[in-house]
Structure formats: C-alpha cells, structure tokens
Chain A
C-alpha cells in the first residue's frame, strides 16, 4: 500500500500523536525539562538578585530559558527516532518526509508552549512581573507565534544534526545563531506585554510581525528541505 496515496494530513497527525504519546509514556518534559527550566529561572534570580533588574530583564530570561530547554527537547525528539532506527525505517518505507517534519514540529510546539506558559508563570511569581489584560493577550500571541518559529527551525536543525557525529554539541552550535531573530523579536514583544522599562503594549506588535515572518519562512523551508537533509 503506497503511503503516497495516504493523505499527508493523516501522516502529520500520526507523527504528532506518536511523539506526544512518547512524551506521555516517558514524562521527560514533566520530570526533567520543566524542572531544568525552573532551575535556570531560579539561578537567574540568584545571579541578578535585584527586583528592579529582574522585572526589567524578565522577558529575556524567559526566552533564554526557553531556548536552553528547547535544546533538550529537540535532542530527545530525535534520540527516540535514532535509538532503534525508526526514522530510517520511515524513510525506507517512503513515508512523506514533509509530513514527518510537520508532525514532529507540531509535537515540539505543543511541548514548548506548555514550557513557555510555565516559564511566564514563574516570571510572574518569582520576579514580580505584572501584566494588564491587553499585555496578557499580547504575551499569549507572542508565545504562539514564537513557538511556531522555534518548533519549525528546531525540527529542521534537529533532523540535520540527528545523523551527524557529535550531534549533542553540533545542535546548539547550529541552532542558537539561527533562532537569534526569534530571541530578539520575542523578547521585545514580551517586554511590551510585561510593560518592562516603560514600554507600551502597542510597541510589541511590530515584533510579533517579525516573528510571524520567521515562522512562515522556516515552516515552508523545513517542509521542503527536511527530507533531503535527513537523506544526506
């Protein structure tokens, strides 16, 4: 039976569900990644140890903690594929690689979004960040759009590094420079949402526009390039 005859959407859903089931079975996000992210936030608080500074830099700390945690989640996402040759088996079976990319991206986005919500809540509790209703809405939009970008670029680079020797160190080297625009855009948009340093909510929307461009660009590039990159 040809998988080319199967709708792409069906494969996307199957891959996303599979990755989320693996997370549900193993609880790596809950038991390891989330505590790691929380510890990073606490260490930032110890290092800066000043409420005024913490409130000012909270948006940047939230996104830095997200990026560090994302590295762990992506490594995990591709370790499960390579542990017993599963990704190879999918490739050999002719399963649409673009659909695999999209499925893995969706699963990564769901996990990142949960993590980001937890980090924002930590910033509110630990750093004393306050938000208006408009700021809260802008923060949610920022999380959603930035997560699409991070999920796409993370899956693309995760797939690229998966077959390489020294992938554990290669992934951060490749990924962190590539997501710099997301770090900048998301931090500025979140600053506006938090009202850090006297910024207003309206100042965040142009940055969200930048995040949207990044998300669309890498979603499209990833869907096309993931297969050839993994094949290589």
Chain B
C-alpha cells in the first residue's frame, strides 16, 4: 500500500502555544485511522496540518508526496477537511450546492449524480434547500461534496457530532464505502466505541505528540 501521510517529529505552533510537539504518523492508502486523545491534545491541529492549513515549525512531513514545509498550499485541493460546520450554502438546494462545488473543480454532471446517490441525497432531497435538511442529511451533503471534489484523503473532525444513532450508522457505512472506492480517512471522534469499530487503526495523541 502507498503511504499517503508521513510525518516525522512534526512540531506546529498555534499562536504562542505548541499545538503539536514532535508527532510521528504514517497513514497508508485505504486506511481508516482514528485519532484519539483528550480535548486539547492536538487532534484538530494534526488534521489541519495534514490539510495544509497549519504550517509546521520543525520536523518533516509529506501528504500525498507533497512537502508540508515547502508546498503545503498545493495539498489543500487534494484533501477534504470536514470540521463541525458543513460548508453548505443554506439557501441553495442540495443539487445546487453540489453543482457549485463541481464547477469549482470541473467535475461532470455524472460525478455529481454519483456522489448524490452514494450519499443517498438524490431523488426528492436533491431539490430541498440545505436549510431544510436534518443534521444527518446536511452531513451527507457535505460528504458528497468531498466526493465531487475528488478528495483523496478525508480528514474528519468529529464527524458523528449532531447525528442520531441511525445517522451515525449510516455515516459509518458511507465512510467504509468511500474507503472501498479508494479514499483514505483520518478522523477524530469522541464516539470512542463507535469509532473503534469503524477504524482500521488508532493513534493516540497526548500533549501534542502521537503514540
């Protein structure tokens, strides 16, 4: 399997405080890696470093072969980071939201259609405004946008937040399906038992370092 994320001794600083203190992490293509650790341990910072949003101060890191130290902005368009917000336009319908994302990356109508059916937001839901969707449906719409954008690595921060039990089951199934289609998933979740079932591997972050 190809290594898609390779971090060695990575130090990152948030303001004046160290957010990551010498993290080593290696993720292979097709894995579902769970980051676990207490609040403030650095899970979100690690996801942001992997997304090319946060600079590294020391150490070396490569994501999809791209050097984090010298070219991290090039990583952004190849990974999808989904935080607590879904990144949707609430006055646009599901279809219009995905068509917008598709037009920013020159994705085809059939790719949009595939993403919608994969995330089960096609049919009646396609013409519903995002503001009228349930939390779970919005989450599915946000994940569909990652498919449309052809994100190779899905970086998910608390993806189960705000979902009911059925929605969480559905999300897990969708993530397994995404991995089967070639994506790699790195997620941070406080839903420990659920996430352990989902993950192929766990990495513990404590005090900004990974173990």
Complex Cα gap A46–B144 (Å): 54
Q: Are B107 and A1 in contact (CB under 8 A)?
A: yes
> Cβ of B89 and Cβ of A80 under 8 Å apart?
yes
Name the residue among A17, A83, A94 with the largest chain B CB count within 10 angstroms: A94
Question: Is the C-beta of A3 less than 8 angstroms from some C-beta in chain B?
Answer: yes
Contact B51 A92 (CB under 8 A): yes
Contact B87 A84 (CB under 8 A): yes
Residue-wise, chain B 87-104 has the 8 Å CB interface mask toward A (1 for contact) of 111111100100010011
B81 on interface, CB distance cutoff 8 Å:
yes
Most chain B beta carbons < 10 A, residue from A1, A2, A85:
A1
Query: Among A1, A17, A26, A92, which residue has its beta carbon within 8 angstroms of that of B91?
Result: A26
Cross-chain contact B85 with A89 (CB below 8 angstroms) = yes
Whether B55 is near chain A, meaning CB under 8 Å from some CB there, is: no
A88 CA to B142 CA, complexed, in Å: 13
Pair B103/A10 contact, Cβ less than 8 Å: yes
- Bound together, the chains give a CA A224 to CA B107 distance in angstroms of 27
- Given A6-B104, A14-B104, A94-B76, do A22 and B86 touch, yes or no (CB 8 Å)? no
Residues of B within 8 A of A95 (CB): 77, 104
Q: Does chain A have a CB within 8 A of B53?
A: yes
User: Out of A13, A22, A89, A93, which one reaches B77, CB within 8 Å?
Assistant: A93
Contact with A along B50-84 (1 / 0, CB 8 A): 01110000000000000000000111111011011
What is the number of residues of chain B that contact chain A, defined by CB distance less than 8 Å? 35
Q: In the bound complex, do residue A21 and residue B105 qualify as a contact, i.e. CB atoms below 8 Å apart?
A: no
A22, B78: Cα distance in complex, Å: 27
Interchain CB contact under 8 A, A4 and B88: no
Task: Establish whether residues B77 and A2, one from each chain, have CB atoms under 8 Å apart when the complex forms.
Answer: yes
Closest to A23 in B: B91
> Main secondary structure on chain A at its contact with chain B?
helix
Bound-state CA distance A4–B75 (Å) is 11
Query: Closest A-chain residue to B76, C-beta based?
Result: A94
Smallest Cβ-Cβ distance to B149: which chain A residue = A93
Contact A88-B85, Cβ < 8 Å, known A18-B92, A83-B90: yes
Kindly state the separation between the CA atoms of A6 and B107 in the bound complex, as whole angstroms.
Answer: 10
- Known A4-B77, A25-B92; contact A14-B86, beta-carbon cutoff 8 A: no
Residues of B within 8 A of A25 (CB): 91-93, 96, 129
0 or 1 for each of A72-89: is its CB under 8 Å from B? (1 = yes): 000000001001111011
The reply to whether the CB of B109 lies closer than 8 angstroms to some CB of chain A is no
Evaluate contact between A10 and B106: CB separation under 8 angstroms: yes
Asked whether A2 and B85 contact (CB < 8 A) given A22-B92, A80-B90, A80-B91, the answer is no
A11 located at the interface, meaning its Cβ lies under 8 Å from any Cβ of chain B in the complex: yes
B90 touches A4 (CB 8 A): no
Q: Quick check: is B150 within 8 A (CB to CB) of the other chain?
A: yes
Smallest Cβ-Cβ distance to B93: which chain A residue: A25
Q: Residues of B with Cβ closer than 8 Å to A?
A: 51-53, 73-78, 80-81, 83-93, 96, 100, 103-107, 129-130, 138, 145, 149-150
Please list the residues of chain A having a beta carbon within 8 angstroms of any beta carbon in chain B. Answer: 1-4, 6, 10-11, 13-14, 17-18, 21-22, 25-26, 80, 83-86, 88-90, 92-95
